[in-house]
Chain A
Amino acid sequence: MALLEVYGLCKSFGGLAAVKDISIMVPKGKIVSLIGPNGAGKTTVFNLLTGFYERDSGQVLLDGAALDKLATHEYIQKGMSRTFQNLRLFSKMTALENVLVGYQSRMKCNDWNMIFHDRKYRQEENQAREKSRNALAKLGLSRYEKDICGGLPYGVQKRLEIARALVSDPKVLLLDEPAAGLNPNETQELSKLILSLREEGNTIFLIEHDMRLVMSISDYVYVMDHGELLSEGEPKQVRQDPKVIEAYFGKGRVAGAAERK
């Protein structure tokens, strides 16, 4: 049984069926990727899995328990934590504060504790700061701790989003195109980082455009196009699937791409 199980997920916007009958398994401790051309419906799948859209039909099980009838903000408590395709940091807050907000769902102090800064509050706050600093360090961001994140370089902001999603120790970490906009060096570092996260036991569900990155780090790959699952399998199987090549390179190229191999 996989950690995250998705069965028959459907979603349409008006007349447009953005996600059609998608089933996905993400086993514990693995890196599973979802790829596909622009507009294929990948981000919509993430939005369905994290409660930003309501699904038309389908079932989602996390650790065997159904994720049903939850408000958007409850998903992270259940262990689903995500990043966004387009940066969505809290741009007027410091890097550390951003990560602290990422951890807030694990904090239990009530308003009373917070108003009086009592012992319980101080303990929890210190622990939260330590965890957040660790997350920053893991992504090599310690030196930006006190900087307002809106002014940081793009690559740093991308990593900061991962730190923010990671700090709550999610059961599944959902990364939406973490390499988009990064240069080759940064992408290289990112792939090392994602692998090291897996080594530490994290389960990662990745949307990515960069084929080389996906093929080199994924344990299993799903390919989507026009809202449907086109293919799935281990990276080397998927790479040779003519349907995938067609979706990515167009019909005329299929023969050529096959020849190159």
Chain B
Amino acid sequence: MKIKSNRIFRKLLFCIMACVLISLPLLGLSNFVMRLAVFVWIYILLATSLNFTSGVAGQVSLGHAAFFGIGAYVSALLSLKLELHFLICLALAAAAAGVSGWLVALPAMRLSGGYLAIVTLGFGQIVYIVLLNWIDLTRGPMGLVGIPSPVLFGIEFRKPQSYYYIALFFCVAVLLLFKNYIGSRAGRNLMAIRDDETAAAAMGVDIYKEKVKAFAISSAIAGIAGSLYAHFMLFIDPSKFVGDESTAILSMVVLGGLGSMKGSIAAALVLTALPELLRGFSRYRMLIYGILLVAMMITKAVDWSRYSWYDRMQQWIQRVVQAINRKKGGWKNGAA
């Protein structure tokens, strides 16, 4: 009975959430809030995709913003220069980012831990410098202007109230498929690689191949986020795709609990919305991210997501009891 009511409760919650998400633009919220809502969707894509490599597969990347940038520039340039349709631009942006991710991963996934972090950091820098200096193509620091808004079914999605639906659609679609993928054999294999590569290999997991694939998929999704960003802002310049942005995305993943998709979503929501809503705080955004990242790493709250509160309480109590027992043993020995 309990299980049944739980399921009904979940379904109800899901319906309410769906209603709220769909009707959000109709509630007469200000442009500012709706813009923020679109950004939240974009960052949810960025955080969940980085969570895939860094959280699920345990391969920490410090250059995620590079793939975000590649997606944004490819999509913008294709629509500006070749006047391709938004959907085609989006697909090609995903492909371009995915292929770049694959190419980076081919050598990088032979490395581990710190080395991998440095290679991805370096790649992020390279992409930023190329965007800044390949002036013929990217117009460098002046950025790309006049990126067209998407037009679908004869409707132009320009205002945040309407663009929100595009962001919502692509995010939810990607997240649902992503969740399927992570919940299946592929996701388990990646977690196995994260926990113990030797044992994973013994169980027949092709470690290198799986890592490269995960990195490419994660990059492709960042590319989708980039495309969504470009066609919403209508203007992009390299400064959005610097290393700081990678750090920001990584701190979302870490705050949400490495490996937890729900956690990444919640953290992306909080860390995108809060600094904007608390006026005057947005200039401290990077500082907040940095402090959070350090605090989370120090307290090792990294895998909190996989343990329920109940389990963690129990473990904690067990540890205390063990400590007391040890003390007791010590006293007895002392007496004997």
Contact check, B306 vs A164: say whether CB atoms are below 8 A apart: no
Total number of A residues with any Cβ neighbor in B under 8 Å: 39
Is B306's CB under 8 angstroms from A73's CB? no
Known contacts A73-B207, A93-B195; is-contact A114 B186 (Cβ 8 Å)? yes
Given the known interface contacts A82-B202, A115-B177, the answer about A101 and B188 at a Cβ–Cβ threshold of 8 Å is yes
Does A90 contact B200, Cβ atoms closer than 8 Å?
yes
Would you call A248 an interface residue if the criterion is a C-beta within 8 Å of the partner chain's C-beta atoms? no
With both beta carbons as reference points, the residue of chain B lying nearest to A114 in the complex is identified as B184
A148 within 8 A of B: yes
Which of A52, A76, A84, A90 is packed against the most chain B CB atoms within 10 Å? A90
| Number of chain B residues close to chain A: CB under 8 A | 30
Q: A102-B203, A107-B185 are in contact. Are A90 and B198 (CB under 8 A)?
A: no
Q: Are B196 and A148 in contact (CB-based, < 8 A)?
A: no
- Could you say which residues of chain B place their CB within 8 Å of the CB of A168? 203-204
Our pick among B180, B188, B201, B306 for the contact of A117 (Cβ within 8 Å) is B180
| Contact (A104, B185) CB under 8 Å given A72-B202, A73-B205, A93-B191 | yes
Query: Which of A52, A115, A164 is within 8 Å of B203, CB to CB?
Result: A164
Main secondary structure of the interface of B (DSSP, over half): helix
Are B201 and A72 in contact, with the CB atoms below 8 A? yes
Contacting pair B207 A90 (CB below 8 A)? no
Which residue of chain A has its CB nearest to the CB of B177? A115
For A82, the chain B residues whose CB sits under 8 A away are 202
With A73-B207, A104-B204, A151-B315 in contact, is A90–B184 under 8 Å at CB? no
Pairwise interchain contact B185-A115, C-beta atoms closer than 8 A: no
Q: Which of A95-141 contact B (CB under 8 A)?
A: 97, 100-102, 104-105, 107, 109, 111, 114-117, 121, 125, 128
**A97-B188, A114-B184 provided; 4 other pairs, C-beta below 8 A?**
A71-B206, A88-B199, A115-B181, A128-B185
A residues near B, CB below 8 A?
A: 50, 52, 71-77, 81-82, 84, 88-93, 97, 100-102, 104-105, 107, 109, 111, 114-117, 121, 125, 128, 147-148, 151, 164, 168
Query: Could you tell me which B residues sit within 8 Å of A by CB distance?
Result: 177, 180-181, 184-186, 188-189, 191-192, 194-196, 198-207, 213, 259, 303, 306-307, 311, 315
Question: 15 A–B contact pairs at CB < 8 A?
Answer: A72-B202, A73-B205, A76-B203, A82-B202, A84-B202, A88-B198, A88-B199, A88-B202, A89-B196, A91-B196, A92-B194, A101-B189, A114-B180, A148-B307, A168-B204
